[in-house]
A and B are shown apart, each in its own frame.
Chain A
Amino acid sequence: MSVTILIPTALRSFVDRKSDIEVEGSTVGETLGNLAAQYPDLKHQIYEDDVKLRGFVNVFVDGTNIKKLNGLDTKVAQGATIMLVPAIAGGC
């Protein structure tokens, strides 16, 4: 299944400056794994290891956080949109 992944500006330098990328996959984990295989530099940015995403990476499928679904096992439909969204925090 072909899925569109929206890339946040902070990560575009690792995907040839693209903002949207079409990737095949039937689950979120499989789709992101295929994306990481295409762009190894991105993999180091978003994965802690081969399977676990870094803490700052949030993933939405068609507007819903995968934490409210089945995490990386969430199934994706043909034409779905996956968004990678960085967590933002700070303070003095």
Chain B
Amino acid sequence: MMLKLTRQIETDIRKAGADAYPNECCGILFGSEDGDDHIVKSLKPIENARESGEQYHRFLITAEDMMQAELEARRLGLEIIGFYHSHPDHPAKPSDYDREHALPFYSYIILRVAEGKPELMTSWRLQLSREAFDSELFEIEP
């Protein structure tokens, strides 16, 4: 179980986290499956739909944005394989809130942004039991 992405995609997620600080950024991972691995081919940045006063610790992707993204992925011959979001001034670990709102299968990238600077980036997949996340390794190509 691994998440494969390019250095450019990693850079783009880090920049999105820094740009959104002190709020959370969010977006969708387009890609494909390779056995148990997920391969990220491109990002679809999404405007955080939570109320502005809540965006420092919450993100929301609306059903309409998800529907459009699903159609776009199909047009590109890709799949939605996961999501990314930032944790401003919080660890790059899933919160209880993340777990309550996550779905198995998807890869969830979390980027810690501390005082505006992107730091540790991690990825997770929710167990089928929904009780916990498993950490997912990265493979970053140059």
Contact = CB atoms under 8 A, between A and B. Distances in A.
Interface in A34-82: 56, 58, 60, 63, 65
Given A9-B80, A90-B102, A63 B97 contact: no
Interface in B76-101: 79-81, 83, 85, 87-88, 90-91, 94-95, 97-98, 101
A28 interface: no
B21 interface: no
Given A9-B79, A56-B103, A89 B66 contact: no
Contacts of B79: 9
A92 B90 contact: yes
- Chain B: interface size category: 35 or more
Contacts of A89: 50, 58-61, 97, 101
A86 B103 contact: yes
Interface residues of A, number: 20
Interface in A2-16: 6, 8-10, 13
Contacts, number: 83
Interface in B28-86: 33, 50, 57-61, 63-64, 66-67, 70, 74, 79-81, 83, 85
Contacts of B74: 6, 19
Given A56-B103, A90-B101, 5 more contacts: A58-B67, A60-B63, A85-B70, A87-B101, A90-B59
Interface of B: 24, 26, 33, 50, 57-61, 63-64, 66-67, 70, 74, 79-81, 83, 85, 87-88, 90-91, 94-95, 97-98, 101-106, 108
7 contacts: A60-B67, A83-B67, A87-B101, A89-B58, A90-B98, A91-B97, A92-B95
Interface of A: 6, 8-10, 13, 19, 56, 58, 60, 63, 65, 83, 85-92
